[in-house]
Amino acid sequence: MPRRRREEEHENHERWLVSYADFITLLFAFFVVMYAISQVNEGKYRVLSDSLVQAFQNDGGPMRIITIEKPGGQSAKGVEGKVKIVPVPASETPQAKAVKQHMSGLAGNLQDILKPLVDEGQVRVNQTARGIAVEINASVLFAPADAKLADSSTKALGAVADLLAKEKNSVQIEGYTDNVPIKSSQYPSNWELSSARASSVVRLFMEHGVDQSRLSAIGYGENRPLTDNTTEAGRARNRRVQVTILAETPEQTASMPAF
């Protein structure tokens, strides 16, 4: 039988089109995915951002509950719900409650000791986030531009020191002045005057038995005024010494009421 003649195969020069089409398809899918994940829901992002800010700024307690409230009937663009941060008050231990009551009692005792000066508006006793703050007008303690305690003030301060000598809290004494410049051989500026006044109170407390390791003296000069220095009444208010009985523990500090 005659042999069948084998036909020659022609080379396909268009096979590259298949690979090119696959490449274009994959490239299209890649850009579709990139576009999809780059779209941020602005409404949800804003809700999340606001919730985080509220959570970190809220001092209501260490634990919080997040609830979602759907808006009734109306839907804002990009916003599906409202995230609400609800503070959960921490349970107060018996020890913390006892410490809190003790500090409140101490504040009441200080108020009683200084009652005549409190009634005259020369002394203010407040419970703050740091502890108990006793603000004393400088005119009660010192002569103008002087850091030596007046004899009339040592009795009241001595009674305060006798009370604090029985406690174990750290005590911080802060001196403040007004913005009127002072320049003398003894006190070149208000910094030195305020520091010297705070140190004078510290020295008296030590003489009445308060452990010196519990005491600290700070001078702020004319900085941190309570009111405007443009009037004489304002300057008189800013000239002061503050005795702060500091809270013993962070737990106690958290339970103290602020101004």
Do 48 and 118 share a domain, yes or no?
no
Residue 222 CA to its chain's centroid (Å): 23
Residue 244 CB: number of other CB atoms within 10 A? 21
By the 8 A CB rule, do 103 and 127 touch? yes
State pTM to two decimals: 0.61
Do 125 and 240 share a domain, yes or no?
yes
Which one of 89, 108, 135 terminates a domain? 89
Euclidean distance between CA atoms 52 and 173, whole angstroms: 38
pLDDT at residue number 249 = 63
Which one of 58, 89, 120 terminates a domain? 89
> Which of 30-39, 55-64, 69-78, 189-198 has the largest mean confidence?
189-198
171: in domain: yes
| Token pair recorded at residue 227 | 């009111």
Annotate 78-116 with b (16+ C-beta within 10 A) or e (fewer).
eeeeebebeeeeeeeeeebeebbeebeebbeebbebbee
Q: What's the number of domains the chain is made of?
A: 2
Do 21 and 82 share a domain, yes or no?
yes
pLDDT digits (tens, 9 = 90+) for 119-138: 999 999 998 878 999 999 99
Confidence of residue 109 (pLDDT cuts 50, 70, 90): very high
Q: Percent of the chain beyond pLDDT 70?
A: 69
By the 8 A CB rule, do 71 and 81 touch? yes
Cβ neighbors of 61 (< 8 A, separation 6 or more) are 87, 88, 89, 90
1: in domain: no
pLDDT digits (tens, 9 = 90+) for 13-51: 677 777 888 888 888 888 888 877 776 666 666 666 666
pLDDT at residue number 95 = 79
218: in domain: yes
Do 85 and 114 share a domain, yes or no?
no
Do 178 and 197 share a domain, yes or no?
yes
Confidence of residue 192 (pLDDT cuts 50, 70, 90): very high
Do 85 and 100 share a domain, yes or no?
no
Do 24 and 107 share a domain, yes or no?
no
250: in domain: yes
Token look-up 């089409």 returns: 21
pLDDT at residue number 73 = 47
Do 163 and 177 share a domain, yes or no?
yes
7: in domain: no
| pLDDT of 155 higher than 80 | yes
Which one of 36, 71, 89 terminates a domain? 89
**Mean pLDDT of all residues in 160-170:** 93
Do 65 and 100 share a domain, yes or no?
no
Domain extent at residue 76: 13-89
Confidence of residue 113 (pLDDT cuts 50, 70, 90): very high
